[in-house]
Amino acid sequence: MNETIAVVGAGIAGLLLARELKARGAEVVVFEKSRGLGGRMATKRVGEAIFDTGAQYFTAKSERFAAQVSEWAAAGVVAPWPGASSHRWMAKPSMNALGKFLAEGLEIQRESKLVNVQREFGVWELAIENRPAWRVGRLVLTAPLPQALALLKAGGVELPRLLAAELAALTYHPCLALLLTLDGPSAIPAEGIAFADGPVRWIADNSKKGISPDGHAAVTVHLSSAFAAEHYAKTEAELAALVVPGIAEQLGAPVVNVALQRWKFSEPAATFAQPCVWLPDLGLGLAGDAFGGPRVEGAALSGWAMAERMAVKAGT
């Protein structure tokens, strides 16, 4: 029997799960549809400017995750956000650095977009766009839940009826991130600005965060989930016309370039009652922030919980 475990999604949940399984002696391969690692802990370069486009920082409230963050800090992989309260952590030099760090030593198939997954004769077959299929013994889906369920449906895999209904009811908020390059320094404080209402949820200056080179400010503007849902299909120019005038005072300098990052599945609107799902009869698991909670820490805790549920013992 094929004992390889496939983990779909190289976000924080998938990478920590894969590392834990490998540490226990399992043969693991991670499939990621994009080139990048770390999921929504993402960074993008636009010209000379560098932006954290997704998660802007993370917190550590549980004992286990706090201990892990302390290890990362000792290794120089994470550090407190400059100028912000001490509970905000960021990866160094930018948020995607943590995904790259966690991927070290793992077998990762990048740019591998799965089309469907099928279960036959105790083996999972993974159909991958423009690539040969893979066959593995066990499978864990850590991609956003709607994408994970779509893969199962495309392969004709039926989950238990009650579980399927509960999972299908979990939805995600979208997010739009405007990436603004300014003609000079911004007026945004180093710790960023959170907005309680209106179209903007958050703005931060990546130059003051220590990510983008000094000179022209590189500002990430996260739009609110309600605004993003209403205007998701608009272009960067259309969105900028709607949003920038309302934050011109905070920006403090003219906008010279606008780029856009869309996150269709940015944040779970609700969380499943358990930190993961493991179906031993199918050799199938589901994990991620829709289970552990809508934060980086939640994704991490879900990945670790999944490893425990799979009962892979060290040295086996």
Q: What is the pLDDT of residues 96-126, one digit of tens each?
A: 999 999 999 999 999 999 999 999 999 999 9
Q: What pTM was estimated for this model as a whole?
A: 0.94
Give long-range contacts, CB 8 A cutoff, 24+ apart: 187-194. 187/249, 187/250, 187/251, 187/252, 187/253, 188/217, 188/219, 188/250, 188/251, 188/252, 189/83, 190/82, 190/83, 190/84, 191/81, 191/83, 191/84, 191/85, 191/88, 192/56, 192/84, 193/250
Strand, coil or helix: what is 66? helix
| Distance from the Cα of residue 208 to its chain's centroid | 23
| Architecture of the domain whose range is 5-35+110-170+272-310 | 3-Layer(bba) Sandwich (3.50)
Residues of the chain with CATH 3.90.660.10: 43-91+172-269
pLDDT digits (tens, 9 = 90+) for 183-213: 999 999 999 999 999 999 999 999 999 999 8
Confidence band (pLDDT; 50, 70, 90) for 293? confident
Q: What is the DSSP letter of 58?
A: B
Q: Which CATH code for domain 43-91+172-269?
A: 3.90.660.10
Inform me whether the pLDDT recorded for 315 exceeds 60.
Answer: no
Residues of the chain with CATH 3.50.50.60: 5-35+110-170+272-310
- Please report, to the nearest 10 degrees, the dihedral formed by the alpha carbons of residues 207, 212, 217, 219 taken in order: -90
Inform me whether the pLDDT recorded for 236 exceeds 80.
Answer: yes
